[in-house]
A and B are shown apart, each in its own frame.
Chain A
Amino acid sequence: MADLRFDQSTFLAHRAREAAKIGPPKPPQHVALPGAKAAVAHDRLLAYQDAELDSDAITERVNERWRAENAELLAEHSRWVAGPYVAALEDARKAEIEAAAKALRTRALFEEIMREREQGS
């Protein structure tokens, strides 16, 4: 039966042995840089760094490439934003204003009726 009386030093010794078996960390195949819309292949990242580009410049290049690849989608999105989306927002706002106006009218009518009743009685 396995010895379950683990103390801190045996646990650390186990972990150190385990770590030795795992070996040094492997460099990632792809790297997600802050703000980049696609991950950069590791060898391309290294090539960029050899060309003395910093993280922001590399991100900018990645995003330029992404924009070129997705130009169609971006154009479609801006059409949607300018057309149906804005129209839907305007409709929603109009409906909201109309509902508010209707509520106000109803209340005014109700108050008028109440006033008439008070005067009549």
Chain B
Amino acid sequence: MADPGVPLSYLAYDLRSGSYLGRLPLAGVTFGSQLLNPGTLSGTIDIASAAVQALAPLSLTAPARTVIAVDYMGALIWGGIIWPRYYKYDGQSRQLQVTATELWSYLQQRDQATDYSAPPFSGITGPSTYMPIWDASHTSVPEGGPGVYDPTLLAWQIISDALNQVTDGNILGGLGIAANGYTTAASYIASGTQTPQANYLTANYPYSSIQQVHSMVNLLASNGIGTGFDYAVDIAYSSGPGSVPVGTVNLSYPRRGRTYAQNQLVLNCGNAISYDIPEDGTQVGNTIYEQGQSGSLVVSQNIIPLQGGYPVLEQIKSRANIQSANVLNVLSAMGVSDLATGSFPVATPSVTLDLFSSSVPLGDFIVGDNVRLIVPASDGLGGVFDPRFPSGLDREFRIIGMTAQVADAGQSKLTLNLAVPPVVVAAGPQV
């Protein structure tokens, strides 16, 4: 069992109702999150111990019907569903190994609730009522025609139908859905500048080629900055520690998380346990060919790397899944976003810190936030701190993944995976 001083506890809730089941005596816990990809928690329970047996560990960890939430000092920082549970009986081991995947994984086991072959109508609304969320932008032009729509709203309608219009098809007593914090599509659209302006898409999803909710939303979300959005399911106590947990599907346009100017998070590599900085030139493209459907092609080029001495490096991106009345606008937006991330060799640093005493504390950041990454120039004794960065490094990066390793004894570690934050123009190498 973990050190009693460690301010983390693991709580079990019923998946459907959200009712409290008990506290789990997990050991050797590792949990994490990734942007756009549900992260996992794994830990073990020693069921040979009589104290543990008294807690009914088997009913607290039943797969596909239990939520594990991680409480850090009275706030929930992670929530996931137990999918696999593993037990092996042999000469010594009586350990139950539990793996939970973040709440979004529920949508990996749900399919579209109805037919969306003729938007703005669906199998649920019938052929005369417009879908209220899908068409909240009132852009089914011509009236009742296929139209172009905000991709965030398409995702919202698909998720809402799957969760709210199917009996017994919701979790934690009912997940809420919010886009940029707005819980109604009308107020989200009314918020104006923080919604897509010209990059609306056309989409239809016939029931005959039924798809998983996660893959439909993931495809819409991974359309690059400006068109796509980020998503996650967040969990929190409804009113203070120990109360019923609340889950919300948060869709964030144009991105999830805050900039350094907003959160003031500084990641000082001078205090890190270790860090590594891989750089990859194989995916570099300063000239991008965006191929859309029916022969549409948009070429985008970033001339800054060419002026800086790089040769032309080309990438072809197939966007056959994109349908839109203004497909060229959408493709150019994607070209710009691909150039922003791929014009220079891609650097994806990861930094390992102490879990409980780092400058980026657990619970004070979310995956998607930017941080200011600093490598000091000098070691304070007149020497260079790190010969890889002779004059130091001070640059804004984005947290795209985190892993917390809670040691049963000794040092617990937090690893942050970083990437270049979404920007409009790439002006130089990333590190």
Contact = CB atoms under 8 A, between A and B. Distances in A.
**B is a partner of A:** yes
Interface string B360-374: 000101101100000
A18 B161 CA distance: 12
Interface string B62-95: 0000000000011100000000000000000000
B7 interface: yes
Interface string A41-72: 11001000100001110100000001001100
Determine the main DSSP class of B at the interface with A.
loop
A37 B363 contact: yes
Contacts of A28: 174-176, 183, 246, 248
A66 B363 CA distance: 12
Interface in B138-164: 160-161, 163-164
Given A45-B181, A70-B74, A33 B234 contact: yes
B36 to A, nearest CB: 13
B383 interface: no
Nearest to A27: B183
B238 A29 contact: yes
Determine the main DSSP class of A at the interface with B.
helix
Contacts of A49: 181-182, 187
Contact of B238 (A34, A39, A77, A80): A39
B257 A34 contact: yes
Contacts of B176: 27-28, 30-32
Interface string A1-38: 00000001000100110110010111111111111111
A113 interface: no
A92 interface: yes
Contacts of A70: 73-74
Interface residues of B, number: 63
Interface in B235-282: 235-240, 246-248, 250, 252, 256-258, 262
Nearest to B256: A34
Contacts of B194: 54
B174 to A, nearest CB: 7
A33 B248 contact: yes
A97 interface: no
A109 interface: no
Contact of A84 (B5, B123, B177): B5
Interface of A: 8, 12, 15-16, 18-19, 22, 24-39, 41-42, 45, 49, 54-56, 58, 66, 69-70, 73-74, 77, 80-82, 84-86, 88-89, 92
Given A25-B163, A66-B74, A80-B5, 13 more contacts: A12-B114, A16-B126, A19-B166, A22-B164, A30-B236, A31-B178, A32-B250, A33-B236, A33-B250, A34-B252, A37-B75, A70-B74, A84-B5
Interface pairs A-B: 6 shortest CB-CB = A55-B181, A28-B176, A37-B75, A32-B236, A19-B165, A25-B164
Interface of B: 3, 5, 7, 73-75, 113-115, 123-124, 126, 132, 160-161, 163-167, 174-178, 180-184, 187, 191, 194, 207-208, 232, 234-240, 246-248, 250, 252, 256-258, 262, 354, 356-357, 363, 365-366, 368-369, 409-411
